[in-house]
Amino acid sequence: MPANPKYLSSGPDRAAKITAGLIGGYLLSAMFHYVLGLLVENKAAVVATSVYTLYMLWMVFFIIPFMMKSGAKAWVYYLVSIVLLVTIAYLIR
């Protein structure tokens, strides 16, 4: 049984969700680990665990835009979060 078309997103909206998950999700998870590395004294532990946790967090951030109504809204949330983490990293350093 095929999906009901009213629940499917349009082409540009689907592309925005995919790019928000791929690019925005990766940047957000990388910035989270960068700020975490600035806050923790044992930087080797952060680097060692970030090998695994970065990809786990990225997959969570990849799924979140598909639960939203709009891909543009996902991009806005991700960009605001990334800018907030960049600001925190700038203030810490």
Q: What ranges do the domains of the chain cover?
A: 14-92
pLDDT digits over 78-90, tens only?
999 999 999 999 9
* Residue 1 confidence (pLDDT): 66
* pLDDT class of 5 with cuts at 50, 70, 90: confident
Distance CA 77, CA 86 (A): 14
pLDDT digits over 21-75, tens only?
999 999 999 999 999 999 999 989 988 999 899 999 999 999 999 999 899 999 9
Residues 6+ apart with CB under 8 A from 22: 62
Mean pLDDT of 10-31: 94
The pLDDT of residue 8 is above 80: no
| Structure letter (DSSP) for residue 42 | -
Q: What is the CA radius of gyration of the chain?
A: 16
The CB density around residue 55, as the number of other CB atoms within 10 Å, is: 13
- The pair of three-digit structure tokens given for residue 59, joined into one six-digit string: 């997959």
Distance CA 11, CA 63 (A): 18
* Residue 43 confidence (pLDDT): 87
